[in-house]
């Protein structure tokens, strides 16, 4: 591997790093109870939700920022962030796609998001969250016919208050952790999905998130409820423009899989990672968790290539007997990126099963940590976990860490954990080069092979996108 | 020796044996053949009392005793021996201590005086020689890292030392080279006696060239669908199982 | 400072050689600034210090002088130093030394030796790595210095036994061992910790430092045989020079609480460290092993195998950290941790950790938790072996691989029956293992 090539890799451009020149309506930076009242007021929220937010805020004030993750960054100045930004033309919500600001549509086109006709072709229903506001949801009618609710969470608050009251905060309580509390106080928008009993959602549901405004934080909130025996596959993609300042993204995702339901949640996260010196980039501090009831299944698949700092542990609480949890992850860090990501599998029910496949790739001078918890509770008779956790190192200035916590209190539960760390071997490279591949292509192939168990889990369109993303993110990192 | 009546058994709520009848007289050799997945190994495991296998109907008697109510080790004490199709590896437990523990337990229950270590070692070495395994195998973990053929010969060695009454040999001939097959056949033939019976589960008639069976049965769909003498094996070798489907 | 922290210092009142006083003072200073870890402290997340709530008083100033009774200790040919409640017992020790070996108590050290000890003591303990190390310094009055000159190979094992008798009260004992292996030397060291069954109890703070010179090889066996109410918090801190080899074997039977930290600092290329360990708590006992291999330089290797069987309502913690520093290219590191839970109330918390800052390395770790495999158990039973005996054979088989790897024959002969009987008091059940 030549130094020169590595240098080149570090200088690579962030492909999604354009800004969009749209007039927007942004709240001045700062956070206090008035900020929260403003957000809630702008969204015409009912009184109970305002109270809910304020309580979260008061709890948050008493909490300390977590410091246990293997990441380093200057303290976030929560008072210098703007907690609400809405594209101005959106103030009066568009009645149809034709009314959507063409420049916005153009933005999504640049991102390659299948929003409009593209969406139709791909058969994907998209809820696009731009800065803090949900811009449009396509395919609502077709879903409506199947009985599936897919809308922004702000709308859901008005249209389905019972569901929201019942499930919001039921998986990730307001006080769960520092960022979850912050999100609960200031969340701006996000997606809501409800799949009725026995319904197989007729298409993949998808949300794209984009932070556009400078100095804004994005605090979206996603809630997916799959009623008994239902099935849904949900995709989430994220990008942000290049900015010199760090931007905060503190989302909360809650999944509820009722008896016999199945939720598949896939993420391709490509927030702006900052420049080669670690300047700018998104702080991605996300709480994702699902509760799996009897005979249900929750599967998390994630491909993480973006963000300056990632702090994220999509988890499964396997509450019901025979429930299944899965976590498939590829996390790639380059340059000065830092990631501390993994999962928690909490086995409560009998015969619960979980599988964790984690692939970490570190390049440049980045740091990539897997952190996982597998807990077998005394009740988890016959439960099983299998964990495979591999790290690949590219270049001699990066770091890769593995911190698996295994706690077992049931003798009939079986836990198996394996982890390896290695580098792309010279032999492998040499072999590929002998077969006529240039080094870059060879590494990309090796990395793709390394990740294939995870890519296999992604829906088709996403798998291709993910492969491309890795290739771009690694461009020139070897020679 | 063995009398099985209308035996029904299931694994994980799936019915595998569906009314199996089989009688084996003292000193007889029976061969059981049949397509993959027909329940041959299941029969062996049910007789040995493996956990997870539930008998839903029928009976099985060995030497006049009801097998199905006995604990696994009691069945062994009574004289049942099952040579596994896929022998289990036990790292950390040496073959020798394993053999000694089995032999002592079985002798104790047959009211035969225990073997002292010297005589036991002598017998173990002889058994090793008889199945053509190096004595070094006695010191290794049970089946740990043994090749397929070595595992099969190790099963045979256990059988020799335990001197059971009924030997069920589940595909002991599979995966053996020609010389090893001869060794196994010689071993079995040497053990044949008027008060010892054999059930040989096999896919290949070639084993039966070495050990002449008294009866040949076809197990299909969880039942014995056809029985005959040695010539049935030859016929099966020629024609496969398809022609029997109507019978099943 | 809470009660425990005060009392522990009070135990230091006994006289020590004057040259140890600066170290004691330093220790007192550091200890007074220490706050006891809580469950919120990452390294103590799973282990409560509740057992320290008890009152521990200073050990008696005089050796008890009583015979030991039936304390299970290995009988080894070679020099044996026995301490009871922190006091050297010449009546129980054998001090005939093999040629070349120097084995001296701190209390007896000549001024030259004292100078060497004072210079080396604490040097293998990485700063801040052991919360209880300052307490050991503060309360240190005697210890043992084992010195193997360069190019000297000591064949016979050196055995040091640290015993507590705790006649009807709870006492606090400090133990310290400093081992220096000169270049290309070799030695075998056995440390045993045990208590007499008198009903008393003890808090032992045991610290062993191993300085292993270039090309030297140390075979180190550390047996924690204490049982009952004994609390032991301590560990081994090793520093290895180039091409040196450390073979460690660790055993912990359970007691009220055992927390043992094993830290190996590889400072010279070509060093190899191997650590095997067994922990077998039962009743309501707790054993906590924290191991850490610091791969600080290139071309080093390490291999760790820890196995635990946790019975009844006991709990165990294993934390195995492999830390590869940026310069440590070409490191090969492996760790395996396997656990058996044999009861519904037993608990294991394990965390094999990799922290890697160099790219050309090969590291792997694995951890498993399970019960005895039901199908393996069945296989033994189909051969006539009764269930209870089969369980004992398989439990022992689970740890046997590590016992078989104990190279010191006398020690292996001591360990086998001791361990086999852990699983069954009835000799009928262990007769085929022994
Ligand atoms: N634990 C199990 N769970 C579910 N099905 C099982 C289990 N064990 C066996 N079976 C099924 O029972 C059927 C009979 O299996 P068995 O092993 O008895 O077949 P066999 O006749 O020995 O086949 P072969 O010739 O391949 O050895 C098969 O369909 C098999 O898949
Ligand atoms: Mg079979």
CA atoms within 13 Å, Cβ hemisphere of C107: 11
Tell whether A428 is within 8 A of chain C (Cβ).
no
**B48 in contact with chain C, both atoms CB, cutoff 8 A:** yes
Q: Is the CB of B143 within 6 Å of ligand 1? A: no
DSSP A258: -
Closest CA to B20 of B1, B43, B36: B43
Average pLDDT over residues C252-278: 96
% chain C with pLDDT above 70: 94
Tell me the ipTM for this assembly: 0.91
Of C387, C399, C432, the CB nearest to B97: C432
Taking the Cβ of residue B77 and every Cβ of chain C, the question of whether any pair is shorter than 8 Å is answered with: yes
Query: Six-digit token pair at C22?
Result: 């600066």
Cβ-contact A94, A100 below 8 angstroms: yes
Measured between alpha carbons, how far is C46 from C157 in angstroms, rounded to an integer?
36
- List chain B residues with CB under 8 Å of C380: 90, 98, 101-102
Q: Which residue has the higher pLDDT, A77 or A27?
A: A77
What separation in angstroms does the CA of A233 have from each of A123, A138, A146, A202, A457?
12, 16, 15, 10, 11
Distance from the CA of B219 to the center of ligand 2, in angstroms? 11
pLDDT of residue A209: 66
Give the span between the Cα atoms of C57 and B63, in whole angstroms. Answer: 70
CB contact under 8 A, B73 and C385: yes
User: Is the pLDDT higher at C53 or at B27?
Assistant: B27
Q: Which of C349, C351, C361 sits opposite A403 (nearest CB)?
A: C351
In angstroms, what is the span from residue B43 Cα to ligand 1's centroid? 10
Instruction: Report the pLDDT averaged over residues A245-266.
Output: 91
Which candidate, C331, C322, C273, C260, places its Cα nearest to that of C299?
C331
CA A127 to chain centre: 15
Ligand 1 pocket: which of B20, B31, B39 to mutate (most atoms within 8 A of CB): B39
Ligand 1 pocket member B213 (CB < 6 A):
no
As a whole number, mean pLDDT of residues C201-221 equals 95
Residue C66: per-residue pLDDT: 67
The per-residue pLDDT for A477 is 64
pLDDT, residue C199, reads 60
* A33-42 and A47-62 helices, crossing angle to 10°: 150
Contacts of C39 in chain A (CB under 8 A): none
Nearest CA in chain A to C371: A411
The finding on whether B38 has its CB within 6 A of some atom of ligand 1 is yes
Q: Residue A457 CA to chain centroid, in angstroms?
A: 16
Tell me if B11 CB under 6 Å of ligand 1: yes
Ligand 1 pocket test, pick from B8, B12, B33, B37 with the greatest ligand atom count within 8 Å of Cβ, gives B37
Q: Binning pLDDT at 50, 70 and 90, where does residue A211 land?
A: low
Give the pLDDT of residue A116: 45
Res A454: pLDDT:
87
Q: How far is C99 from chain B (nearest CA, A)?
A: 38
Instruction: Give the Å distance between the CA of B45 and the centre of ligand 2.
Output: 10
User: In angstroms, rounded to a whole number, what is the distance separating the alpha carbons of residues A223 and B228?
Assistant: 67
Task: Write out pLDDT tens, residues B231-243.
Answer: 898 888 888 887 7
Q: Is the pLDDT of residue A76 over 60?
A: yes
What distance in Å separates residue C424's CA from the closest CA in chain A? 19
Bridge-based pairing state of the strands A399-408 and A24-26: unpaired
Min mean pLDDT across A185-189, C47-51, C85-89, C427-431 is at C427-431
Supply the mean pLDDT for chain C.
91
Tell me the whole-structure pTM to 2 decimals.
0.89
Category of B135 on φ-ψ map: left (φ > 0), alpha (ψ -120 to 50) or beta: alpha
pLDDT tens sequence across C155-197 = 999 999 999 886 667 888 899 999 999 999 999 999 999 988 7
pLDDT at A3: 39
Residue A8 pLDDT: 44
Q: Which of A84-88, B182-186, C52-56 has the lowest mean pLDDT?
A: A84-88
Q: Which atom of ligand 1 is nearest to the CA of B52?
A: 1
pLDDT score, position B244? 75
Burial B56-74, CB ≥16 within 10 A → b, else e: eebebebeeeebbebebbb
Chains contacting C (3+ CB pairs below 8 angstroms): A, B
Q: Which ligand is nearest to the CA of B32?
A: 1
Candidates A333, A362, A385, A407, partner chain C, best to mutate (most C CBs within 10 A): A407
Whether residue C52 is predicted with pLDDT greater than 50 in this model: the reply is yes
Closest by Cα among C117, C118, C6, C107 to C58: C6
CB–CB contact C393 B97 (8 Å) = yes
Residue in this structure with the two tokens 């980045």, named with its chain if needed? A366
Pocket test for ligand 1, best of B13, B16, B54, B199 (most atoms within 8 A of CB): B16
Find the range with the poorest average confidence among A229-238, B154-163, C109-118, C281-290: A229-238
Residue bearing tokens 């918390």? C349
Residue C166 confidence (pLDDT): 64
B163 — contact with chain C (CB < 8 Å)? no
3-state SS assignment for residue A350: coil
Strands (E), C267-383: 272-280, 286-295, 301-310, 315-324, 332-341, 347-356, 362-370
Q: For chain C, give the percent of residues with pLDDT over 90.
A: 71
| B37 CA from centroid of ligand 2 (Å) | 7
Better-scored residue on pLDDT, C132 or A110: C132
Token digits for A112?
């390659």
Residue closest to C374 by CA, chosen among B45, B159, B59: B45
Per-residue pLDDT, averaged over A59-70, amounts to 90
Question: Taking 50 as the threshold, does the pLDDT of residue A122 lie above it?
Answer: no
Phi, psi of C5 (to 5 degrees): -65, -35
Q: Which chains touch A (3 or more CB pairs under 8 A)?
A: C
Tell me which of A20-29, A386-395, A467-476, C269-278 is least confident. Answer: A20-29
β-bridge partners, A264: A233, A299
CB contact under 8 A, C380 and B105: no
**Under 8 Å CB-to-CB from A191, ≥6 apart: which residues?**
A127, A129, A134, A150, A151, A152, A153, A205, A207, A220, A222, A223, A224
Statement: residue A118 has pLDDT above 50: no
Q: B161, A182, B104, B68: which is closest to C389 by C-alpha?
A: B104
The pLDDT value given to residue B37? 92
Q: Give the whole-number percent of chain A exceeding pLDDT 70.
A: 77
Ligand 1 centroid to residue A413 C-alpha, Å: 25
Low-confidence ranges of chain B (pLDDT < 50): 248
B219 C-alpha to ligand 1 centroid (Å): 13
Assign A421 a pLDDT band (cuts: 50, 70, 90): very high
CB contact under 8 A, C386 and B97: no
pLDDT value at C219 more than 60: yes
Q: Find out whether A249 and A287 touch, Cβ atoms under 8 Å.
A: no
C156: left (phi over 0), alpha (psi -120 to 50) or beta: beta
Most confident of A1-5, A216-220, C202-206: C202-206
Instruction: Evaluate: CB of B13 within 6 angstroms of ligand 1.
Output: no
Longest dimension (CA), chain B: 57
CB C352 within 8 A of CB C386: no
Residue A9 pLDDT exceeds 50: no
Residue to test with chain C: of B11, B83, B101, B112, most C Cβ within 10 A: B101
Closest-CA residue, ligand 1 atom 10, reads: B11
- Model confidence at A91: pLDDT above 50: no
For C25-45, what is each residue's pLDDT tens digit? Answer: 999 999 989 888 988 889 999
Q: Do residues A263 and A230 make contact, with C-beta atoms less than 8 angstroms apart?
A: no
C432 vs B100: CB contact, 8 Å cut-off?
Answer: yes
Band of the pLDDT at A244, cuts 50, 70, 90?
low
Give me the residue label for tokens 């100095």.
A215
Average the pLDDT over A159-164 and give the result: 93
């Amino acid at each position: 591997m030549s130094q020169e090539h590595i240098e080149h890799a570090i200088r690579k451009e962030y492909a999604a790093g354009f800004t969009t020149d749209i007039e927007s309506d942004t709240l001045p930076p700062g956070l206090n109870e008035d900020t929260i009242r403003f957000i809630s007021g702008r969204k015409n929220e009912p009184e109970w939700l305002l109270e809910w937010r304020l309580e979260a805020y008061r709890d948050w004030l008493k909490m300390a920022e977590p410091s246990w993750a293997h990441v380093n960054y200057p303290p976030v100045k929560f008072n210098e962030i703007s907690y609400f930004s809405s594209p101005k033309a959106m103030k009066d919500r568009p009645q149809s796609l034709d009314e959507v600001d063409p420049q916005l549509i153009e933005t999504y086109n640049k991102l390659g998001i299948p929003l409009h006709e593209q969406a139709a072709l791909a058969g994907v229903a998209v809820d696009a969250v731009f800065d803090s506001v949900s811009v449009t949801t396509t395919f609502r009618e077709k879903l409506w016919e199947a009985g599936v609710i897919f809308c922004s969470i702000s709308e859901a608050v008005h249209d389905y208050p019972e569901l929201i009251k019942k499930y919001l905060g039921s998986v990730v309580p307001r006080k769960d952790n520092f960022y979850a509390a912050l999100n609960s106080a200031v969340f701006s928008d996000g997606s809501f999905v409800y799949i009725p009993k026995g319904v197989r959602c007729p298409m993949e549901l998808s949300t794209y998130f984009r932070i556009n405004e400078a100095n804004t934080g994005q605090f979206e909130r996603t809630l997916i409820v799959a009623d008994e025996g239902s099935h849904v596959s949900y995709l989430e993609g994220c990008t942000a423009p290049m900015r010199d300042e760090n931007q905060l993204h503190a989302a909360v995702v809650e999944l509820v899989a009722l008896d016999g339901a199945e939720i598949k949640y896939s993420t391709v996260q490509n927030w702006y990672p900052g420049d080669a010196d670690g300047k700018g980039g998104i702080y991605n501090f996300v709480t994702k968790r699902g509760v799996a009831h009897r005979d249900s299944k929750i599967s998390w698949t994630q491909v993480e290539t973006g963000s300056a700092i990632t702090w994220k542990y999509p988890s499964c609480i396997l509450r019901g007997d025979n429930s299944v949890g899965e976590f498939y992850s590829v996390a790639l860090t380059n340059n000065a990126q830092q990631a501390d990501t993994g999962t928690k599998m909490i086995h409560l029910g009998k015969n619960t099963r979980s599988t964790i496949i984690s692939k970490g790739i570190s390049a440049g001078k980045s740091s990539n940590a897997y952190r996982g918890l597998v807990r077998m509770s005394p009740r988890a008779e016959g439960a099983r976990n299998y964990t495979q956790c591999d790290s690949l190192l590219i270049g001699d200035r990066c770091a890769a860490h593995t911190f698996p916590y295994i706690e077992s209190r049931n003798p009939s539960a079986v836990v198996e954990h394996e982890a390896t760390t290695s580098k792309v071997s010279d032999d492998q490279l040499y072999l590929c080069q002998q077969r006529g591949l240039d080094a870059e292509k060879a590494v990309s192939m090796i990395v793709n092979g390394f990740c294939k168990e995870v890519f296999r889990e992604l829906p088709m369109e996403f798998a291709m996108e993910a492969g491309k993303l890795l290739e771009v993110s690694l461009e020139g990192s070897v020679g | 020796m063995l009398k099985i009546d209308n035996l029904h058994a299931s694994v994980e709520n799936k019915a595998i044996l569906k009314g199996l009848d089989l009688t084996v007289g003292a000193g007889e050799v029976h061969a059981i053949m049949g397509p993959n997945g027909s329940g041959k190994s299941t029969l062996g495991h049910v007789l040995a009392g493996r956990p997870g296998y539930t008998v839903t109907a029928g009976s099985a008697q060995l030497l006049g005793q009801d097998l199905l109510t006995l604990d696994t080790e009691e069945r062994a004490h009574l004289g049942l021996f099952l040579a596994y199709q896929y022998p289990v590896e036990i790292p950390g437990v040496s073959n020798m201590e394993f053999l000694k523990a089995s032999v002592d337990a079985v002798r104790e229950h047959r009211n035969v005086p225990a073997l002292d270590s010297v005589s036991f070692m002598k017998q173990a070495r002889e058994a090793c020689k008889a199945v053509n395994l190096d004595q070094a195998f006695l010191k290794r973990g049970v089946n740990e890292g043994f090749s397929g053929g070595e595992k099969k010969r190790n099963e045979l060695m256990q059988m020799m030392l335990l001197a059971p009454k009924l030997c069920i040999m589940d595909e002991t001939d599979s995966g053996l080279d020609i010389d090893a097959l001869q060794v196994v056949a010689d071993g079995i033939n040497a053990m044949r006696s008027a008060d010892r019976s054999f059930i040989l589960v096999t896919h290949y008639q070639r084993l039966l060239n070495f050990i002449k069976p008294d009866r040949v049965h076809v197990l299909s769909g969880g039942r014995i669908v056809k029985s005959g003498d040695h010539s049935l094996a030859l016929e099966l070798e020629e024609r496969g199982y398809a022609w029997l489907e109507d019978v099943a | 400072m809470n009660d425990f922290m005060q009392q522990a210092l009070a135990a230091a009142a006994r006289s020590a050689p004057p040259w140890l006083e600066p170290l004691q003072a330093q220790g007192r200073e550091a200890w007074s600034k220490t706050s006891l870890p809580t469950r919120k402290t990452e390294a103590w997340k799973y282990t409560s210090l509740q057992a320290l709530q008890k009152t521990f008083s200073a050990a008696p100033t005089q050796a008890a002088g009583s015979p030991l009774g039936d304390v299970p200790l290995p009988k080894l040919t070679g020099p044996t130093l026995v301490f009871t409640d922190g006091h050297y017992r010449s009546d129980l020790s054998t001090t005939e030394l093999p040629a070349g070996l120097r084995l001296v108590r701190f209390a007896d050290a000549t001024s030259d030796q004292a100078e060497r000890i004072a210079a080396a003591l604490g040097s293998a303990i990485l700063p801040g790595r052991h919360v209880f190390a300052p307490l050991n310094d503060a309360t240190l009055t005697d210890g043992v210095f084992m010195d193997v000159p360069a190019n000297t190979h000591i064949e016979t094992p050196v055995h040091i036994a640290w015993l507590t008798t705790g006649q009807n009260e709870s006492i606090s004992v400090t133990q310290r061992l400093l081992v220096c292996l000169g270049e290309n030397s070799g030695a075998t060291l056995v440390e045993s910790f045990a208590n007499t069954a008198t009903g008393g109890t003890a808090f032992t703070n045991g610290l062993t430092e191993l300085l292993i010179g270039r090309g030297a090889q140390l075979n180190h066996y550390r047996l924690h045989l204490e049982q009952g109410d004994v609390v032991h918090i301590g560990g081994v801190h090793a520093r290895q020079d180039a091409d040196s080899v450390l073979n460690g074997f660790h055993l912990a039977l359970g007691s009220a609480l055992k927390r043992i930290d094993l830290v190996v600092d590889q400072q010279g290329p070509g060093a190899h460290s191997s650590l095997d360990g067994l922990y077998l708590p039962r009743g309501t006992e707790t054993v906590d092993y924290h191991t850490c291999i610091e791969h600080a330089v290139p071309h080093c290797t390490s291999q760790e195998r820890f196995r635990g069987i946790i019975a009844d309502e006991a709990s165990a913690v294993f934390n195995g950290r492999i830390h590869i520093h940026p310069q440590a290219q070409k490191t090969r590191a492996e760790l395996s941790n396997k656990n058996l839970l044999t009861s519904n109330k037993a608990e294991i918390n394990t965390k094999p950790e990799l922290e890697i800052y160099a790219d050309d390395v090969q590291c792997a770790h694995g951890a498993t938790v399970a019960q005895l495999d039901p199908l393996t158990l069945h296989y033994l039973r189909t051969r006539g072996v009764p269930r209870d005996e089969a369980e004992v054979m398989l439990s022992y088989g689970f740890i046997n691989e590590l016992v078989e790897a104990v190279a010191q024959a006398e020690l292996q002969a001591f360990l086998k029956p001791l361990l086999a009987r852990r699983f069954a008091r009835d000799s009928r059940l262990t007769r085929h293992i022994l």
